[in-house]
């Protein structure tokens, strides 16, 4: 390990609370295909780290792709002991985002492992892949993983650990876990299994490590609820996380350790969490600041907003999602303009510094009239409070009613983004528009509905990733999806994956 990497790791460890240093017969590497800061803000990544370390004969250590830039090829190291990341019995990868697919390939290479499952040997670590992406679409990861974990890990990880204790070979281990809920074996299974769903009594999950260099510096994260009661047609939360499980307020509060300065409540539908005000008030009484990712406009009232404001929240973040009321109704968002305007008024009256409004464009049946309505409505919001408008192209996802909908097309999305920017530019600084790249949204859409061939395309891009490179690699592996062409052409045919 060179001095620069050693010093980086030492600085980060010095800013952590809750790190587990452990020696045990079975070594596990829990690796993240992105930066340390993003990983430490992931409750899923932290939970897998804690669950493996809770097994008496397993010791889990962390590794991050970001550090490969400072390590010799194939010599990525773990943070806890500095051992080589590939020197493990189990090499686990947590993948949250479609656009980290190429990073999975890079991560395996950085650990000294062959990315393709078929090119690894029995002496190599077992490669397990989990995370939100595996629940939405595990198929692009199929060429790389020995086993893919789908759904909640709270009960799956202990079962995997027990199977590993019993098995005398990799093949025997796979025999033992075949058919387990939430376990997908790419070289054996033709279809995805049912998702694993954790019961309420094992919740909440929470930060094992509070890290000063996280995306949420010094914040203790705790999941107050899992699942979502809302019927939004574009979102995976209700399908992916199963039925809504609201954690009792007492259990949320009791896992918050002494000395924590700020708590981040996590959940797909926090505004619907029935105990949010009680939890918030209690934390404030303890002198602890409070943060939430976003809130629903129809659930905002002055009492909740006051709790969040006193807890240190400076910006209201609201997801409108549809650019017009017609499209919000199509998405079953159950939010009206009146809800959004009222939330803006509350934000203004209570002294919030900003109002972030998230919108999607490129939705099914969307027309220029829908964009006109969004522009006009943004002007109305700006009369009340400054607004940061975040715009993302719509990406159809599997396991939603929109799986069979066509991607809108790069040129269409870029033209609409250009129009929005132009018409709202004169309202600066009251309106700030930020948008996601239409080209990268297309790549996300390819991965979101792609099969194993998309993973093989990613394998060709580990030395450099670009839009042109993706198109070339996809052509080389024979990818074709009439629903996800770069431009709006081709028949709208249902896409079926084995």
Structure confidence at residue 237 as a pLDDT band (50, 70, 90): confident
What pLDDT score does 487 carry?
52
In 35-100, alpha helices (H): 36-40, 43-54
Q: Are 139 and 450 in contact (CB under 8 A)?
A: yes
Out of 74-78, 95-99, 269-273, 485-489, least confident range:
485-489
Q: How confident is the model at residue 486 (pLDDT cuts 50, 70, 90)?
A: low
The C-alpha atoms of residue 411 and residue 413 are separated, in whole angstroms, by: 5
Alpha helices (H) in 385-449, listed in sequence order: 410-424, 438-449
Residues sharing a CB contact under 8 Å with residue 40, sequence separation 6 or more, in sequence order? 46, 209, 211, 213, 214, 215
Q: Mind listing the pLDDT tens digit for each residue in 275-293? A: 999 999 999 999 999 999 8
Whole-Å CA distances, 245 to 156, 236, 385:
18, 16, 35
Percent of all residues in the chain with a pLDDT value above 70, rounded to a whole number: 97
Looking at residue 483, its pLDDT comes to 77
* Predicted local distance difference test score (pLDDT) of residue 190: 86
Which residues, 6 or more positions from 415, have their beta carbon under 8 angstroms from its beta carbon?
Answer: none
pLDDT for res 176: 98
Of 99, 189, 141, nearest to 392 by C-alpha is 99
Q: What is the H or E stretch that residue 112 is in?
A: none
3-state secondary structure 269-282: CHHHCCCHHHHHHH
Cα–Cα distance between 65 and 63 in angstroms, integer?
A: 7
Mean pLDDT of the chain: 94
Instruction: Point out the least confidently predicted range of 190-194, 240-244, 303-307, 386-390.
Output: 240-244
Strands (E), 277-324: 289-292, 315-321
Tokens of 77: 């190291």
Please give the Cα distance from 172 to 357 (Å, whole number): 51
Q: In this model, does residue 493 exceed pLDDT 50?
A: no
* Domains in the chain: ranges and CATH: 3-184 (3.40.50.280)
Q: Which pLDDT tens digit goes with each residue over 195-214?
A: 888 989 999 999 999 999 99
pLDDT in tens, 412-448: 999 999 999 999 999 999 999 999 999 999 999 999 9
Q: Are 453 and 409 in contact (CB under 8 A)?
A: no
Split at pLDDT 50, 70, 90, the class of 236 is confident
The pLDDT value given to residue 488: 39
pTM score of the predicted model: 0.94
């Amino acid at each position: 390990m060179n001095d620069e990497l050693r010093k980086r790791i030492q600085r980060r460890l010095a800013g952590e609370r809750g790190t587990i240093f452990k020696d045990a017969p079975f070594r596990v590497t829990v690796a993240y295909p992105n930066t340390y800061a993003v990983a430490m803000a992931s409750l899923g990544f932290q939970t897998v780290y804690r669950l493996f370390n809770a097994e008496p004969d397993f010791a889990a250590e962390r590794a991050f792709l970001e550090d490969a830039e400072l390590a010799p090829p194939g010599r990525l190291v773990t943070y806890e002991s500095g051992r080589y990341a590939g020197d493990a019995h189990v090499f686990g990868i947590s993948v949250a985002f479609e656009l980290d697919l190429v990073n999975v390939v890079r991560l395996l290479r950085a650990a000294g492992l062959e990315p393709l499952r078929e090119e690894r040997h029995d002496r190599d670590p077992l490669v397990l892949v989990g995370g939100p992406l595996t629940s939405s679409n595990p198929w692009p990861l199929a060429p790389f993983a020995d086993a893919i974990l789908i759904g909640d890990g709270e009960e799956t990880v202990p079962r995997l650990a027990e199977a590993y204790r019993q098995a005398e070979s990799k093949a025997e281990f796979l025999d033992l876990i075949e058919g387990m809920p939430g376990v997908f074996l790419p070289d054996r299974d033709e279809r995805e299994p049912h998702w694993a769903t954790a019961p309420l009594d094992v919740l909440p999950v929470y930060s094992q490590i509070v890290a000063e260099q996280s995306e949420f510096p010094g914040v203790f994260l705790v999941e107050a609820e899992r699942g979502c009661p809302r019927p939004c047609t574009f979102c995976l939360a209700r399908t992916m996380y199963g039925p809504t499980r609201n954690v009792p307020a007492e259990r949320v509060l009791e896992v918050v350790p002494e000395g924590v300065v700020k708590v981040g409540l996590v959940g797909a539908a926090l505004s619907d969490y029935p105990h949010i005000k009680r939890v918030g008030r209690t934390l404030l009484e303890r002198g602890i600041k409070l943060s939430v990712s976003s809130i629903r406009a129809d659930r905002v009232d002055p009492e909740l907003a006051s709790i969040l404001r006193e807890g240190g929240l400076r910006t209201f973040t609201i997801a409108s999602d549809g650019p017009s009321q017609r499209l919000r109704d199509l998405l079953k968002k159950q939010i009206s303009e009146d809800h959004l305007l009222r939330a803006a008024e509350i934000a203004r009256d209570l002294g919030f510094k900003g109002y972030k409004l998230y919108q999607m464009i490129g939705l099914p049946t969307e027309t220029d009239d829908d964009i006109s309505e969004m522009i006009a409505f943004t002007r109305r919001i700006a009369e009340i409070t400054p607004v940061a408008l975040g715009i993302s192209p719509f990406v159809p996802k599997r396991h939603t009613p929109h799986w069979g909908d066509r991607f809108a097309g790069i040129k269409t999305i870029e033209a609409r983004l250009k129009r929005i920017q132009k018409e709202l530019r004169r309202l600066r600084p009251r309106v700030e528009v930020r948008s996601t790249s239409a080209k990268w949204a297309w790549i996300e859409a390819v991965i979101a509905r792609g099969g194993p061939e998309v993973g093989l395309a990613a394998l060709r891009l580990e030395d450099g990733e670009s839009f042109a490179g993706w198109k070339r690699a996809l052509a080389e592996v024979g990818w074709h999806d009439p629903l996800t062409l770069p431009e709006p052409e081709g028949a709208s045919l249902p896409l079926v994956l084995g």
